[in-house]
């Protein structure tokens, strides 16, 4: 797949809306970037669809538009012309499209103010958003095993979700089933356990896909050690440490 105008537009979308993931893609080989940018541009669009309006019906319609586009891709026929859908159709197969449809279903939670039903519902949301995104990215780069990519994506998704807790609360959502520090620490420990399980099968996840999880381990360890940072909006790493970690992972192939 080449860097045509659509892929360049996808790259610009990711650069504006998700600069940390953009940095991870730019650390990957050129051929991988051309396949990952359409996927991550889709993720940007899907993630913000529930938030661009306060009208739940309009938000539902926006998610349905993306679901319809994915179903067109999954059927293998012509997909609608769109700067994200068109290049995505060039790399995505039916299984990948189905995984992303499930991620859209999970994102319906973002539209409404209902809390998660229980801890299992929260963990399923993280797996179907972060986990599925990593799994599709890994498959785009040739992976055929599911478990390690799902575990790695869950860990990365959880770290991102914990960073977003204050913003979600400011928008009237109830992101945590139990917001006590000890419960937050336990949730983060669960993410670290899945990260360790993924690392035990590191060869099953292409490095270019795994780079998107470059901050997962340090952020989850920070949430375990200092869970109060989550509510305070202080779950982040120093910029220099971020950059050095990404450079090391890209050069070493270890994560």
3-state helix, strand, coil in the chain (%, to 5): 75, 0, 25
What's the chain's Rg over C-alpha atoms? 17
Give dist(CA 136, CA 100) in Å, integer.
8
Note the pLDDT of residue 211. 98
Give dist(CA 136, CA 130) in Å, integer.
10
pLDDT tens digits for range 193-207: 999 999 999 999 999
Q: Is the pLDDT of residue 134 over 70?
A: yes
Q: Is the pLDDT of residue 1 over 80?
A: no
Residue closest to 191 by CA, chosen among 230, 219, 212: 219
Give dist(CA 13, CA 129) in Å, integer.
19
Give dist(CA 190, CA 220) in Å, integer.
9
From the number of C-beta atoms within 10 Å of its C-beta (0-12, 13-18, 19+), residue 34 rates as buried
pLDDT tens digits for range 13-40: 999 999 999 999 999 999 999 999 999 9
Give the mean pLDDT of 80-87: 97
Give dist(CA 94, CA 71) in Å, integer.
8
**Greatest C-alpha distance within the chain:** 50
Per-residue DSSP letter, 79: P
Of residues 35 and 2, more confidently modeled: 35
Cα separations in angstroms, 229 against 111, 123, 155, 215:
26, 20, 18, 16
Note the pLDDT of residue 33. 97
1-5, 94-98, 111-115, 138-142: which range is least confident on average?
1-5
Note the pLDDT of residue 162. 98
Let me know: does 130 contact 154? Beta carbons within 8 Å: yes
Per-residue DSSP letter, 226: -
Mean of pLDDT over the chain: 96
Share of the chain above pLDDT 70, in %: 99
* Token code pair at residue 224: 């375990």
Note the pLDDT of residue 3. 86
Note the pLDDT of residue 77. 84
Give the mean pLDDT of 127-145: 97
pLDDT tens digits for range 48-70: 999 999 999 999 999 999 999 99
Q: Is the pLDDT of residue 101 over 80?
A: yes
Length of the chain as a residue count: 255
From the number of C-beta atoms within 10 Å of its C-beta (0-12, 13-18, 19+), residue 136 rates as buried
Residue showing tokens 């200092």: 226
pLDDT tens digits for range 239-249: 888 889 999 99
* Token code pair at residue 65: 């538009």
* Token code pair at residue 24: 């991870």
Note the pLDDT of residue 186. 98
Let me know: does 45 contact 84? Beta carbons within 8 Å: yes
pLDDT tens digits for range 170-222: 999 999 999 999 999 999 999 999 999 999 999 999 999 999 999 999 999 99
pTM of the model: 0.96
From the number of C-beta atoms within 10 Å of its C-beta (0-12, 13-18, 19+), residue 197 rates as middle
């Amino acid at each position: 797949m080449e860097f045509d105008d659509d892929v360049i537009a996808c790259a610009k979308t990711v650069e504006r809306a998700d600069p940390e993931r953009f940095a991870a893609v730019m650390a990957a080989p050129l051929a991988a970037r051309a396949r990952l940018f359409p996927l991550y541009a889709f993720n940007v669009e899907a993630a913000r669809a529930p938030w661009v309006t306060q009208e739940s019906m309009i938000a539902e319609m926006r998610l349905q538009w993306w679901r319809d586009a994915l179903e067109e891709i999954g059927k293998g026929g012509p997909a609608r012309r769109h700067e994200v859908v068109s290049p995505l159709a060039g790399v995505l197969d039916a299984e990948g499209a189905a995984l992303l449809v499930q991620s859209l279903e999970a994102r319906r939670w973002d539209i409404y103010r209902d809390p998660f039903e229980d801890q299992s519902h929260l963990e399923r949301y993280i797996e179907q958003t972060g986990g599925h995104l990593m799994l599709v990215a890994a498959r785009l780069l040739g992976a055929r095993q599911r478990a390690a990519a799902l575990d790695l994506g869950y860990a990365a998704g959880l770290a991102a979700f914990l960073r977003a807790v204050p913003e979600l609360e400011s928008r009237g959502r109830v992101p945590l089933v139990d917001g006590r520090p000890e419960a937050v620490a336990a949730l983060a420990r669960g993410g670290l356990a899945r990260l360790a399980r993924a690392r035990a099968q590191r060869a099953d996840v292409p490095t270019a896909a795994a780079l998107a999880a470059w901050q997962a381990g340090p952020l989850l360890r920070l949430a375990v050690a200092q869970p109060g940072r989550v509510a305070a909006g202080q779950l982040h790493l120093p910029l220099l440490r971020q950059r050095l970690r990404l450079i090391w992972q890209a050069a070493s192939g270890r994560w």
